[in-house]
Amino acid sequence: MEGPSRQRQREAGESEKQSDEQLTCPECSSDDVVMDADQGELVCDDCGLVLDERQIDRGPEWRAFNHSERQSKSRVGAPVTETMHDKGLTTTIDWKDKDAYGRSLSSEKRSQMHRLRKWQERIRTKDAGERNLQFALSEIDRMASALGVPRSVREVASVIYRRALKEDLIRGRSIEGVATAALYAACRQEGIPRSLDEVAEVSRVEQKEIGRTYRYISQELGLELKPVDPKQFVPRFASALGLSEETQAKATEIIDVSAEQGLLSGKSPTGFAAAAIYAASLLCNEKKTQREVADVAQVTEVTIRNRYQEQIEAMGFR
């Protein structure tokens, strides 16, 4: 029975042979060549001739003696992320002035760590483009946290902004405006219902600029974004109002019937969803006032009344 060390050498030799061309021993013409990971050598397993030395060991630094140990010890580094300007590949120095054992550093060491931290931040961004990207991605992360959207949306928004930066679409526009437009486009692309008003609330730019920039980058980058479905807003609005599942199902039905008759064209999806929830609350005896629904949906009472009248007529109640 082979020992663990010899087995590891044989496995390393097999992987080496698969990656490179077939190796044969010039002494005995044997193709049974293994890599000695401890010595960094390619050795013929039959006659012991060293074919090559000072090989780079690409294997792990740990040993495993069976399959379960190998699976439990296999690991990778931190995943690459688009939400950081360097994709998370550089190191960061923690702001806490403590060593590995949790002990506070001396004043001399704290001063040294402060200088290292400062220079680390400087070398992470080598030019204006990276500083632009760093600021924009931090803005996207801040706004995404305020909106409560999942991490996948942040990744998509970061990719959209990187594309806009690469195509030189930022020139003449504010970084915050393009970052907000990228986040709004990512929300629509991932099917996360966030209205333009909600995005504008957490942004530092006006809603008109966000809409204008969004239309520009979506056209230039060829983003194929479908119209927002009002039904996506129903669960969130109904949950905020404390309505039952029956009322939500009724609101969805009202939206479907109204959309089939072409009433949705040119209408705000949030206003349409709010009116459907208001109508469903009346039909299911869970009455909510127009003011309550308008506050949750961030639309006016006039919008709810107009859409409500159209939907009631479409349902055939008048």
Binding-site residue numbers for Zn(2+) are 25, 28, 44, 47
- Cβ contact 174:209 at 8 Å: yes
SS3 214: helix
Interhelix angle for 128-147 vs 175-189, to 10°? 50
Contacts 24+ apart (CB under 8 A), 125-134: 125/85, 129/165, 130/85, 130/86, 132/165, 132/170, 132/175, 133/85, 133/161, 133/162, 133/165, 134/85
Q: How many other CB atoms sit within 10 Å of the CB of residue 26?
A: 10
Q: What are phi and psi of 197, to 5 degrees?
A: -65, -45
- Cβ contact 138:130 at 8 Å: no
> What residues are designated binding site?
25, 28, 44, 47
